[in-house]
Amino acid sequence: MAAAADPQLLPQAILATKREGGAWSRAQLGALVQGGLSAAISRPQLGAALAFALCRGMSDEETVGLTEEMVNSGRRLRWPAGGGPLCDKHSTGGVGDKVSLVLAPLWASLGLRVPMISGRGLGHTGGTLDKLEAISGLRVDLNEAEAARCLDSVGCFITGQTGALAPADGLLYALRDETGTVPSIPLITASILSKKAAAGVERLVMDVKYGSGAFMRTDAEATALAESLERVGAGLGMQVRCALTPMSTPLGRTIGNALEVREAVETLAGGGDPALRALTLRLTAALDPALEAPAAAALDDGRALAAWRGMVRAQGGDPDAPLRGLDAVKQSLVRAPADGYLRRLDALPLGQAAAALGAGRAVAGAPVHPGVGLELLVVEGEALSAGQPILRVWHDEVGLEVAQSLIAQAVEIGPR
């Protein structure tokens, strides 16, 4: 009824406002979101609105308004008062990025509460939920009551987004992909922060990645997104802190679901890859510089690992069971063809290679193989001898030739 009463809320008027370079009012943003969900605004009209937003831009005030309307399109999770602050971490996506698996229990071991709503992988980037499902019995479809019990008993959980949480984001996210409007920084900002605000997060650390294996290819693009996230977060009453991190080479030593869980557990036990540990502590310092030293101690003295085991049990998993899929695949080595130095391990083709083996998906909703992936045995800059193993490929027969071709593209060996 409101759209009929006010001509400025008609779909054609909303489109004309942004097409002509104007700013959407809060009422127009509400009509756009609610109209899209109710089909009062058609998919072509909604796609046109996204295209105009990409081309004409949106102010911070508009982005705050859009984010709040997206939050209000569904349920807003409420957690009991008391206890530590409600904190979360989000990454813009990368190759071998298993930091969320480490940070949630690590922060819980420090007395923070971590209600982490995560997603699945698509394309060459892995998904936290896909990795967790390599753990026997673990559930990533917790309802609100189950999530609250985990938060109360363990201090953290990692689960998937339900359709009741910011449903407008699901609609707009799919349309952005279809209409080629994914690169819009205001739309990316609203998508990320709407889910976090709906989940009740008070303090958020954003790992904004740049490089060949990231969505943002340059540090300038990553900086623009980070600044938008921090400004709009402040407008929403949320503390958002961003760290810019490179993603031209994979993070850590593994790419693949069960392999990355194994590496995350090694890090939680005080070991693991030094780069993964360093980034974990850097993101903790971004949340609160005073927590960096206690976090390092919690990794080394067993508290972080104990919190991980508690989280796995609370979500129905068995932390002592063998990880799913690893015993059902073959292992093959990729060796250096000659003496030299490893000049490059390109994240993008390595992520694509793991996806080709079955660790990732090209279409949303497709299944993934928990046991396949890549294990990096050397690091960039390392001196190599002819025949020395560079990577271990965990595979069955699916996608092996494609993966081998992509690995060859990713590895560069030179005399210097």
Look at the block and give the residue holding tokens 């819980």. 108
**DSSP alpha helix (H) spans, 288-399:** 292-301, 303-314, 347-357
**Token pair for 351:** 């992520």
Instruction: Show which residues are catalytic.
Output: 90, 169, 176, 191, 195
The DSSP call for residue 7 is: G
CB 384 within 8 A of CB 307: no
d(CA 39, CA 191): 20
Residues whose CB is less than 8 angstroms from the CB of residue 266 and which lie 6 or more positions away in sequence, other chains included? 272
* 101, β-bridge pairs: none
**Token pair for 203:** 């303090």
Q: Which amino acid is at 34?
A: Q
CB 247 within 8 A of CB 345: no
> Would you call 91 exposed, middle or buried from its count of C-beta atoms within 10 A (0-12, 13-18, 19+)?
buried
d(CA 254, CA 251): 8
CB 63 within 8 A of CB 71: no
**Token pair for 201:** 């997060």
Q: Three-state SS for 39?
A: coil
Alpha-carbon distance values, 373 to 282, 380, 388, 393 (Å): 27, 19, 20, 6
d(CA 360, CA 364): 10
Alpha-carbon distance values, 120 to 19, 93, 116, 126, 136 (Å): 34, 11, 13, 7, 18
